[in-house]
Amino acid sequence: MANVTVIGAQWGDEGKGKIVDWLAARADAVVRFQGGHNAGHTLVVGEKVYKLSLLPSGIVTGTLSIIGNGVVLDPWHLKAEIEKLEGQGVVINTENFAIAENCPLILSVHRELDVMREAAAGSGKIGTTGRGIGPAYEDKVGRRAIRVCDLAHLDALEAQLDRLCAHHDALRAGFGQPPVDREALLNELREIAPSVLQYAQPVWKRLNSVKKAGARILFEGAQGVLLDVDHGTYPFVTSSNTVSGTAASGSGLGPSATGFVLGIVKAYTTRVGSGPFPTELEDETGQRLGERGHEFGTVTGRKRRCGWFDAVLVRQSCAISGVTGIALTKVDVLDGLEKVKICTGYRLNGKVLDYFPAHAADQANVEPIYEEMDGWQGTTAGARSWADLPAQAIKYIQRVQELIETPVALVSTSPEREDTILVRDPFAD
């Protein structure tokens, strides 16, 4: 039995959805274990494009899809996303979809607080997705969250809401906002409860029994290691742990279930939202990467910032997350460039660094040290075998794996599911 844990090794949007979809056909279960509908995972299958934020990407292949306890779940968004996918012909039922009963909920108060804080922060804002992710995680660790299982105990919900609202009323008063309308919130929760509860179960139990039966479990991370609340570019991060270890705690399986850790790595770098980005290109090349790579946020439509590949950051992400092998995506976006650059180190206050320091000011001030390589004139777009790649593109891929000290397991050459080169099968390990 071999499980696979997919995580983003940069600032998100590395192409996790495409790779999870490609692997899902050979998995028995796909599990989301952190984040929420701040994620935007795009799957392209023939003419069809699926955009998933909360549902595990395995749902498109009909693979058992599970939302683990580590996720924060907006029940209204869930309902809308299920309806949208059903409209695209995807079958979602209690056989192929389950939600952890101990999953905390994102409520309107969380979305409102997220937006109020960002507006008040002005130029110091994080650039969140505005979906209430941070405030929902705060309430979880503050032990006042409403969870999926609470929707089955409506008699106790009023008292729970009182506790939660007392906290939020104080915060809202600071923003000059009126208290939470408890009655309206209670009614909304009563109304939405059945559509969530039909999928709710002790998923730790289900996962442990499929694991015992020898199932292959595929964990689908959201965001990326550089957005991890501990290891990322704090405070410009998301509010969950995005590293591979979270697959265990966010699903109810022990750490040994993590299996092959597949880091998804874009052949260049992008970031959406504020925060340091040493290799960012604010010139024509950056513009070209954004255009060729269609670098617009799946969730918010915001333009993603683009830059050269940063081997220092990815090496750090791979080390922190124990990455076994990477899937290198969007190599085709570099097609036709005369020269390509890779960041191999930083200069800070006259010193050379081989890692990304923790302090925000140092992160903002490091100067990248580049290595330049010839680009390639042929095309990698749509390549499905190693032999289809131009020699110079192979050199680039090999240099990347050398610098990040982690082998390449897959290469992706277009958004389409099948445009994928298998170098080393993660499930076979």
The number of residues in the chain equals: 429
Q: Is 16 in the site for ligand GDP (CB under 6 A)?
A: yes
Is there binding between residue 81 and ligand GDP (CB under 6 A)?
no
Residue 327 is a binding residue for ligand IMO (CB under 6 A): no
Using CA atoms, how far apart are residues 250 and 215, in angstroms rounded to an integer?
18
CA distances in angstroms from 181 to 107, 166, 310, listed in the order given: 12, 11, 48
Identity (one letter) of the amino acid at 218?
A: L
- Residue 223 binds Mg ion (CB under 5 A): no
| Cα dihedral across residues 388, 342, 262, 201: positive or negative | negative
DSSP annotation string for 30-45: EEE-SB-TT--EEEEE
User: Residues 132-171 vs ligand GDP: string with x where CB under 6 A?
Assistant: ----------------------------------------
- Is there binding between residue 317 and ligand IMO (CB under 6 A)? no
- Give CA–CA dist 329/16, Å, rounded: 9
| Listed ranges 11-19, 198-206, 244-252, 330-338: which one lies at the site for ligand IMO (CB under 6 A) | 11-19
Q: Is 279 near ligand GDP (CB under 6 A)?
A: no
Sequence-separated (6 or more) residues with CB below 8 Å from residue 376: 334, 335, 336, 390, 391, 392, 393, 396
Q: Is 15 in the site for ligand GDP (CB under 6 A)?
A: yes
Q: Give the one residue of 6, 7, 8, 193 binding ligand IMO; rule: CB under 6 A.
A: 8
Instruction: Provide the mask over 269-308, with x wherever binding to Mg ion is found by CB under 5 A and - wherever it is not.
Output: -----------------------------x----------
**Residues 6 or more apart from 428 whose CB is under 8 A from it?**
2
Q: If binding is defined by CB under 6 A, does position 417 make contact with ligand GDP?
A: no
**Residue 180 DSSP label:** P
Q: Cα–Cα distance between 44 and 394 in angstroms, integer?
A: 25
Neighbouring residues of 209: CB distance < 8 A, sequence distance ≥ 6: none
Residues noted as catalytic: 13, 41
Of residues 16 and 111, the one with the C-beta less far from ligand GDP = 16
Any contact of residue 44 with ligand GDP (CB under 6 A)? yes
- The whole-angstrom separation of Cα 70 and Cα 231 is 17
Contact (Cβ atoms closer than 8 angstroms) between residue 410 and residue 427: no
Exposure of 314 in the CB half-sphere (CA atoms within 13 A): 35
Q: By the 8 A CB rule, do 69 and 147 touch? A: no
**Which one of the spans 39-47, 108-116, 251-259, 421-429 is the region binding ligand GDP (CB under 6 A)?**
39-47
Q: Based on CB atoms, which residue is closest to ligand IMO, 236 or 376?
A: 236
Is residue 293 a contact residue for ligand IMO (CB under 6 A)? no
Least distance CB 375 / ligand IMO (angstroms): 26
Two tokens, residue 171: 């915060």
Which residues on adjacent β-strands are paired with residue 368? 346
With CB under 6 A as the contact rule, the residue among 62, 127, 378, 390 that binds ligand IMO is: 127
Selected binder of ligand IMO within 102, 239, 363, 406 (CB under 6 A): 239
Member of 58, 68, 415, 426 binding ligand GDP (CB under 6 A) = 415
Between residue 34 and residue 93, which ones bind ligand IMO under the rule CB under 6 A?
Answer: 38-41
Counting contacts by CB under 5 A, is residue 10 touching Mg ion?
no
Give yes or no for residue 133 binding ligand IMO (CB under 6 A). Answer: yes
Residues near ligand IMO, by CB under 6 A: 8, 11-13, 38-41, 126-129, 131, 133-134, 222-224, 227, 238-239, 272-273, 298
Provide the binding-site residues for Mg ion, judged by CB under 5 A: 13, 40, 298
